[in-house]
Amino acid sequence: MYGYGGSILRVNLTSGEIRREPLPQELARDYLGGRGFGAFLLYREVPRGTDPLGPENRLYISSGPLSGLLVAGAGKCDVTTKSPLTGGYAGASIGGMLTAEMKYAGIDVIAIEGKAARPTYLYIDDDRVELRDASAYWGKGSLTTEKALKEALGESFQIAAIGPAGEAGVAYACISHDFGRQAGRGGVGAVMGAKNLKAIAVRGTRSIPVAQLERYRELARAMYAACKAAPGLEAWQKYGTAGVTTWANEIGAFPTRNFRSGFFEDHSGLSGETMRAAIVVTDKACFGCPSPCGKYSYVRKHGVHVEGPEYETTALIGGNCALASIEDVAYANYVCDELGLDTISAGNVVAFAIECYERGIIGKADTGGLELRFGDVDVVCTLLRQIAAREGLGAVLARGVKHAAETFGRGSEAFAMQVKGMEMSGYESRHAPSMLLSYMTCDVGAHHNRSWAITYDIARGRDAVTPDKAAKVIELQHIRPLFDCLGACRLQWVELGLDLGHYAPIVEAITGLPRSWEDLLTISERVWNLTRLYWFREVPGFGRAWDAPPPRTYLEPVETGPTAGKRTSREAAERLLDMYYEQRGWDRDGRPTPAKLAQLGLAGL
């Protein structure tokens, strides 16, 4: 098959059976790759009601048709599973070099099931695939494990590993790769840990067949040329996502002290300019990337190297926990990376615990004598280590903010910043209805990467609650997740303005299959509706109530900054949902209608 590795690698950790099967042509035709492959296989192969941390759950690591080819930003793959954090669909994107190496080994999907009897890692060297003993690496950090495996196997192997948090089953543990890239959201690392799978090591030497080689080269060169000519390239290369920090603070969207505010008075210590001057050593990119947003940093104060922090980490561990020093944020980032914790969820959970302590909902009897306070890096890192070990208060916090609020009670549910059980990422949205709707309806829970609509709120008017805002969220929910099916990064489009018209022609040239932009968007919409069906199938009582925003967004006005006094009422949020459901072709409970499913080729599921 042109553009694909050509196989699904199936690994049963219980029996030790490993086999390759051909990638079905109809799967590539109807679901394209990456996130599409994972969503389809999860729905079809994992039994209803499966325990996310049980051996019947499966983990799918999927590349796309652009992965591993010299296409701008073609360094992404998708990790799909049933989430131990939410109980629903989990789809996490990861950059770096892993996706290319999978394709060079002839693999489009690694499908992992069962549970190994002892700590194990998966070794892939082209056609040689083995399950190897990982006892020597168990208990070690993600970064330490990756370094050790590269030393043992060779630099040409690409490694994906979990840390102690994944081994312990922390519900938001991540999978780490390339010393700072993570499949972070939804607890995919906990699923890997529950299977006693410490790491995956991949090396491949095959080429990827391309249908129209000269046409592909011509189109790929045009993409790189457009990126090189982009006016925003220089600033993006210099600061990466850290450049968002000051802007987010200026518009009142920078989460501060558990989302009490969108403005952090000490933000200057966290800006991209401060970070570049204080800690950045060099720039770092994923495979095929012309605009390296990664920043490799040295934190002199704490004596550690780390990739980042990128914006989301700065927002959720910096502003949200009120750490005012980029060195302290970078150190907490390093702690999370080594432990294998999603920095977004971890920052939320720590900030929530501190607010509970401030309000007297929990006390020193619950914290083991630790005084929790905002702005203290030692408090933050102590809690992170307790979470990864599931010790003391960390045993409660390890299950996520929704569970912690249900455990603590006493009104704490009102300021647990989550949707569907997933903690909110880095945009305070009480005065940004489109962005709030993006969080409410995201298919994994409260995450920004499916629809970053806050700029539309600013352009359209931040008080407006109108049908066009629902339409914009839906439009973005089709475009942005499409990149996760293609195996490519969306930031060349988002930050450099790369024209979306580049993508359908190059997919067609690579695969030989006729593809229009509308065809690709239909695939993305099909996947979106399939994952919605998965939630209804797996979560008892799932429906409209699960799309509700956190109560803080409608009960409490923003405390400080340019949006002080603003909030989005519950009535406005409900109107947004009505508009959204109607435009999506879903019923009032948010279930896709039979007509919509038939239109997308999903009838009968």
**What is the Cα gyration radius of the chain?**
22
Domains of the chain as residue ranges with CATH: 7-203 (3.60.9.10), 232-422 (1.10.569.10), 430-497+516-599 (1.10.599.10)
Q: What is the mean pLDDT of the chain?
A: 98
> Residue 379: helix, strand or coil by DSSP?
helix
Residue 168 has φ and ψ, to the nearest 5°, of: -85, -5
Beta carbons of 278 and 311 less than 8 angstroms apart: no
pLDDT category of residue 492 using cuts at 50, 70 and 90: very high
- pLDDT for residue 386: 98
CA 94 to mean position of chain CA atoms: 7
> What is the reported pLDDT for 290?
95
List C-alpha distances in Å: 257 to 353, 549, 560, 580.
Answer: 11, 18, 11, 30
Query: Number of C-alpha atoms within 13 angstroms, CB side, residue 252?
Result: 20
Prediction pTM value: 0.98
The CA distance from 277 to 73, in Å, is 26
Structural element, H or E, at residue 60: strand 59-62
361 touches 140 (CB < 8 A)? no
Answer whether residue 38 shows pLDDT above 90.
Answer: yes
pLDDT at 203: 98
Q: What percent of the chain has pLDDT over 90?
A: 100
Tokens encoding 351? 């900030």
Separation of alpha carbons 587 and 563, rounded Å: 34
Q: Please, is 337 exposed, middle or buried when counting C-beta atoms within 10 Å of its C-beta (0-12, 13-18, 19+)? A: buried
Residue 467 belongs to what H/E stretch? helix 467-486
Task: Report yes or no: 252 and 263 within 8 Å, Cβ to Cβ.
Answer: yes
Arithmetic mean of pLDDT, 387-399: 98
Q: Smallest Cα–Cα separation from 531: which of 126, 89, 99, 142?
A: 89
Sorted by sequence, the CB contacts under 8 Å of residue 604 that are 6+ apart come out as none
Q: What is the mean pLDDT of residues 500-526?
A: 98
What does the pLDDT look like over 305-333, one tens digit per residue? 999 999 999 999 999 999 999 999 999 99
The confidence score (pLDDT) of residue 519 equals 97
Residues 149-193 pLDDT 10s: 999 999 999 999 999 999 999 999 999 999 999 999 999 999 999
What single-letter DSSP state applies at residue 498? -
pLDDT of 345: 98
Tallying the residues shown for the chain, one arrives at 605
Question: What are residue 284's phi and psi, to 5 degrees?
Answer: -145, 135
pLDDT per residue as tens digits for the range 256-279: 999 999 999 999 999 999 999 999
pLDDT surpassing 90 at residue 604: no
The pLDDT of residue 151: 98
The rounded distance, in Å, linking the Cα atoms of 2 and 467 is 41
Residue 501: per-residue pLDDT: 98
d(CA 114, CA 116): 7
pLDDT of residue 240: 97
pLDDT band at 58, cuts 50/70/90?
Answer: very high
- Count of Cβ atoms closer than 10 Å to residue 229 Cβ: 10
The two tokens of residue 171 are: 């519900």
Q: Is the pLDDT of residue 605 over 90?
A: no
3-state secondary structure of 77: strand
In the three-class reduction of DSSP (H, G, I as helix; E, B as strand; rest coil), residue 389 is classed as helix
- Per-residue pLDDT tens for 59-69? 999 999 999 99
Instruction: Tell me: pLDDT of 495 over 90.
Output: yes
Q: Mean pLDDT over residues 488-504, rounded?
A: 97
What would the mean pLDDT of 437-465 be, rounded to a whole number?
Answer: 97
- Residue 586's pLDDT is 98
Q: Of all residues in the chain, what percent carry a pLDDT higher than 70?
A: 100
The answer to whether 22 and 122 have CB atoms below 8 angstroms apart is: no
pLDDT of residue 570: 97
Mean pLDDT on 476-486: 98
CA-based max dimension of the chain: 68
Please state, as a whole number, how many other Cβ atoms lie within 10 Å of the Cβ of residue 118: 10
Mean pLDDT calculated for residue range 380-404: 98
- Rounded Cα–Cα distance for residues 506 and 520 (Å): 12
